[in-house]
Amino acid sequence: MKQTFPIIGMHCAGCANNLTKALSKVTGVVSAQVTYATDKATIEYDEGKIDWEEIKKAVASVGNYQIALPKQSHQPSHQKHNDQKHDGPQNKHQGHNAPKHGDHQDHAAALSQQKKSLLKTKTIVSGLLTLILLLGNWLKLFPHEISFIFTSIIMFYAGQEFFINAWAGLKKLTANMDTLIAIGTGTAYLYSTVVTFLPQLLVGPQPVYFETAAAIITLILLGRYLESVAKGRASEAIKKLLNLQAKKAILLKNGQEIEVDISQVKVGDQLLVKPGAKVPVDAIIIKGQSYIDESLVTGESKPVKKSLNDKVIGSTINKQGLLIVKAASVGEDTLLAHIVKLVEEAQSSQAPIQKLADKVSSIFVPSVILIAILAFLVWYFVLGLAFTPALVIAITILIVSCPCALGLATPISIMVGTGRGAEKGILIKNAAKLQIAGQIDAIVFDKTGTLTQGSFAVTDIVPADITPKWQPNEILKLAASLEQGSDHPIAEAVVNKAKSLKIKLASPQNFQNLEGLGVKGQVANHQLLLGTFKLMEQEKVMRCATLDGLVKRLADQAKTIAYLSVDKQTVGAIALEDEPKPIAKAVIDSLKKKDLSVWMITGDNQPTGEAIGKRLGIKNIIANVLPQDKVKQVKKLQQKYPVVAMVGDGVNDAPALAQANVGITMATGTDIAIEAGDITLLQGNLELIDKAITLSQKTMTNIKQNLFWAFGYNALLIPVAAGALTSINITISPIFASAAMAFSSLSVILNALRLKRVKL
């Protein structure tokens, strides 16, 4: 069981690292990942062993943090089991404590809002006091004792969290950004206190640094406040999706309309959807027709026409007609809930590019403390600087270094990037896939349903003319009778054609579906086969040269051919057309412009494949491939190209999609397993492939910029703070250091926010 929970109170990637470590150690936790950028913990756990109280304790043990658990999870475990027994079948998803996105999410939002306003108050108080201190110090308005009082308020009220977190870290022998600030400001404060009250301990008159400590805390609080505002903007995607959720439904019961809460709707319920209202859950239309605005869920901008038996997606908007629908999936099973879960998991996942930054981050804080101590020792003992300025240098180093920007650089861009994708109907499974999607060398498309519409129409019926008996209608009759057993789109087309000609069908016996080849069975005491050339060969059917000639011409027109054999003799063929999607050519053109090698794979025959390829501008055709052999073909391509993407419908292509470096599935409607692909395109819209690649590339560029600035910032300013440029009179004051530090993580977030506006 894997779930994502909000964490409240983190201010740094270091916090997230420590929380990850603490959570991973709790019994029952298989793996844990806490991400600062999203303020979330993704925990994979063993339902039988997990104790939520332990989880809460672990979170509190590393600092002033809270985890927002769903209500059920607070229950002691014996009660939990009781509940499970009473759960009805439709409640099974709540039985194992699945979070219900309403409550605990709201609770978490309220808590973090509280934290935010407290932070704001503290920043203002600290800011005002600091101003008075700076003025007082400058104009010599009051003695050190007054400065001491003001600064104490700032340190122990406004800045208390730095010390609480540093202390919690110290107890666990870990250090974080708060440790640096606590040591830095604490040193300045203590030193000034000694100067004020016990000057006899020091030699000669010494300056005090109260206003420095105060200003550092103010600036860092200000930075954190701005950061929390900017972060809120970066994480809007999930919030938007959650707000989208329909809240009420109108239940039809015994001819009555009853308004109920969405949580009370059960599968099979009949619901009324008025014009202008939201479709409450994923459902099937049983009466009426309308246009549905799906833009907020799937990104499809045009309203979609829906009528009887069509599927409608929960939380989309009914634009026109009055609809009666039957609930098909509710609660955690709805498309929207799946999307939210997927985006949440993706945002909390780690991209490979983060590894280096993580490595540096993990040793960053101790290294900085070491550098600060060394710098003090060198300046004081070796270079003969006085005690106080040497101390100031050490403090400046502690304050200027910014592990947070390093830790934020990757995840914040991943969060904004995946969120931006979700908005457009591009669902990306995890950060690693987002990273690699921009590096695709070759892309293989499944033909039917991916490049083509996937809906066939019979165009020609060609008799082999061996005996006059086998006329087109007779061929169609046998073929359609047999196809009644299949649900392949070809079968549908053949049956429809027969029905439209009012041909009476017989029911097939011993029916067999031969996947990727065709169908087999008995009709009217004849042994029938309908399908590909390969099938006919396999079954050693007697061929007919004239028919082959006729059929080749049709195949060259991009038509799919289904041969019919009766008692092992070819009697004719049916040609079917499946039009390419109108957008396909343009998409392939733009992929080729991106220097991708484009391939098509199909179970159809070579001439048909090539003819369609020609129309679309695809030269590389792999035809006659059985569904189970598609994996092998992908592997083969992977020997030639480092990164291969496969695009399919996710139904019978699942193994090949999994084999590909990037599996892209086209989802239509709600009947999709969005877990099947690495990238899911929600509207079955090919154009999104190109956009997904662009999004990946832009996100990676953004991450690299962030990493460059974050590394560069520290690499440059830490030496300067240590006094490396004193010889040319460039030094940094502790106050400047805190301003620079606060700005550096803010700038990383602001840069990531630019991704929100990236053109797709």
Which one of ligand ADP, Mg ion, none interacts with residue 562, CB within 5 to 8 A by kind? ligand ADP
Q: Which residues ranging from 604 to 623 are in contact with ligand ADP (CB under 6 A)?
A: 604
Nearer to ligand ADP, 328 or 551 (CB): 551
**φ, ψ of residue 446 in degrees (nearest 5):** -75, 145
Binding residue for ligand ADP, selected from 211, 344, 446, 678, defined by CB under 6 A: 446
User: Smallest distance from the beta carbon of 653 to Mg ion, in angstroms?
Assistant: 6
Judged by CB under 6 A, does residue 581 bind ligand ADP? Answer: no
∠ Cα 672 674 677 (to 5°): 120
Choose among ligand ADP, Mg ion, none what residue 434 binds, the Cβ cut-off being 5 to 8 Å by kind: none
Alpha carbon separation from 184 to 199, 373, 571, 590 (Å, rounded) = 21, 11, 90, 54
Nearest one of 159, 140, 144 to 213, comparing CA atoms: 159
Query: Cβ(646)–Cβ(663) under 8 Å?
Result: yes
602: contact with ligand ADP by CB under 6 A: yes
Alpha carbon 682 to chain centroid distance?
13
Indicate the residue among 411 and 516 with the shorter CB distance to ligand ADP. Answer: 516
Closest separation in Å from C-beta 652 to Mg ion: 6
β-sheet with 40-45: strand ranges across: 29-35, 40-45, 2-8, 66-67
C-alpha to C-alpha distance for 273 and 259, rounded to whole angstroms: 11
CB of 640 to ligand ADP, least distance (A): 21
Q: How many CB atoms lie within 10 A of CB 179?
A: 25
Q: Which two tokens stand for residue 10?
A: 């983190």
Q: What DSSP assignment string belongs to 543-587? A: P-HHHHHHHHHHHHTT-EEEEEEETTEEEEEEEEE-PBPTTHHHH
Whether 446 is a known active-site residue: answer: yes
Measured distance between the N- and C-terminal CA atoms of the chain, rounded to whole angstroms: 35
Q: Which residues bind Mg ion (CB under 5 A)?
A: 448
Question: Could you tell me which stretch among 129-137, 442-450, 470-478, 730-738 binds ligand ADP (CB under 6 A)?
Answer: 442-450
- Among Mg ion, ligand ADP, none, residue 602 binds (CB under 5-8 Å by kind): ligand ADP
Q: How far is the CB of 617 from Mg ion (least distance, A)?
A: 21
The reply to whether 578 sits near ligand ADP by the rule CB under 6 A is: no
- Closest distance between ligand ADP and the C-beta of residue 459, in Å? 14
- List b or e across 9-36, with b for residues whose CB sees 16 or more CB atoms inside 10 angstroms: bbbbbbbbbbbbbbbeebeebeebbbbb
Contact region for ligand ADP (CB under 6 A) — 28-36, 143-151, 430-438, 602-610?
602-610
Between 230 and 530, CB nearer to ligand ADP: 530
Q: Which is nearer to Mg ion, 229 or 673 (CB)?
A: 673
Query: Is 481 near ligand ADP (CB under 6 A)?
Result: no
Our finding on whether 290 is near ligand ADP (CB under 6 A) is: no
- Is residue 488 part of the contact set for ligand ADP (CB under 6 A)? yes
Closest CA to 760 of 456, 516, 426, 534: 426
Shortest reach from residue 645's CB to ligand ADP, in Å: 17
Residue 685 Cβ vs ligand ADP, minimum distance, rounded to whole Å: 19
Q: Give the HSE-up count for residue 432: Cα atoms under 13 Å, Cβ half-sphere.
A: 9
What's the full length of the chain, in residues?
A: 760
- Neighbour count for residue 87 (Cβ, 10 Å): 14
**Pick 425 or 508: Cβ nearer ligand ADP:** 508
CA-CA distances (angstroms) from residue 283 to 20, 238, 240, 399?
39, 23, 22, 56
Min dist. Cβ of residue 658 to Mg ion (A): 16
Q: Which two tokens stand for residue 500?
A: 């439209």
Q: With respect to ligand ADP, which residue has the nearer C-beta, 327 or 622?
A: 622
**Applying CB under 6 A, does 365 fall inside the site for ligand ADP?**
no
Q: Where in 526-545 is the site for ligand ADP (CB under 6 A)?
A: 530-532
Which lies closer to ligand ADP via its Cβ, residue 517 or residue 588? 517
Member of 516, 663, 677, 723 binding ligand ADP (CB under 6 A): 516
The only residue of 486, 565, 661, 745 in contact with ligand ADP, by rule CB under 6 A: 486
Of the two residues 265 and 616, which places its CB atom closer to ligand ADP in the complex?
616
- Provide, rounded to whole angstroms, the least separation between the CB of residue 228 and ligand ADP: 50
CA distances (Å), origin 69, targets 4, 105, 107: 9, 9, 9
| 633 contributes a contact to ligand ADP by CB under 6 A | no
Q: Which of 604, 538, 529 is nearest to 568 (CA)?
A: 529
Spatial contact of 263 and 331, defined as CB atoms under 8 Å apart:
yes
Please give the Cα distance from 117 to 119 (Å, whole number).
5
For residue 630, which of 443, 446, 437 has the smallest C-alpha distance?
A: 446
| Cβ-closest position to ligand ADP | 603
Give the sign of the dihedral formed by CA 17, CA 19, CA 25, CA 27: negative
Residue of the chain from 11, 447, 497, 520 that contacts ligand ADP (CB under 6 A) = 447
| Cα-based distances in Å from 333 to 28, 242, 247, 383 | 26, 14, 16, 68
Q: Which residues fall within 8 angstroms of residue 58, CB to CB, at 6 or more apart?
A: 22, 23, 25, 26
560 near ligand ADP, judged by CB under 6 A? yes
**Which region among 10-18, 146-154, 164-172, 445-453 touches ligand ADP (by CB under 6 A)?**
445-453
Q: Are 330 and 267 in contact (CB under 8 A)?
A: yes
- The DSSP secondary-structure symbol of 39 reads T
> Which of the residues 446, 578, 604, 690 is marked catalytic?
446
For ligand ADP, the closer of residues 336 and 530 by Cβ is 530
Ramachandran quadrant class, 627 (left: phi over 0; alpha: psi -120 to 50; beta: rest): alpha
| Binding span for ligand ADP by CB under 6 A among 71-79, 265-273, 524-532, 697-705 | 524-532
With CB under 6 A as the contact rule, the residue among 175, 181, 519, 647 that binds ligand ADP is 519
Q: According to the binding rule CB under 6 A, does residue 407 interact with ligand ADP?
A: no
Regarding 420 and contact with ligand ADP (CB under 6 A), the answer is: no
Shortest separation between residue 559's beta carbon and ligand ADP, angstroms: 10
Query: From the CB of residue 641, how many other CB atoms can be counted at a distance below 10 Å?
Result: 17
Chosen residue from 42, 212, 448, 670 binding ligand ADP by CB under 6 A: 448
Pick 490 or 732: Cβ nearer ligand ADP: 490
Among 297, 375, 426, 517, binds ligand ADP (CB under 6 A): 517
Stretch that binds ligand ADP, among 41-49, 241-249, 469-477, 486-494 (CB under 6 A): 486-494
Does 508 interact with ligand ADP (rule: CB under 6 A)?
no
Residue 212 interacts, among ligand ADP, Mg ion, none and using kind-specific CB cut-offs from 5 to 8 Å, with none
Q: Is 96 helix (H, G, I), strand (E, B) or coil?
A: coil
Min. distance of Cβ 494 from ligand ADP in angstroms? 7
Stretch in the footprint of ligand ADP (CB under 6 A) among 50-58, 129-137, 440-448, 711-719: 440-448
Q: Which residues bind ligand ADP (CB under 6 A)?
A: 446-448, 483, 486, 488, 490-491, 516-519, 530-532, 560, 562, 602-604, 627
Q: Catalytic residue positions? A: 446
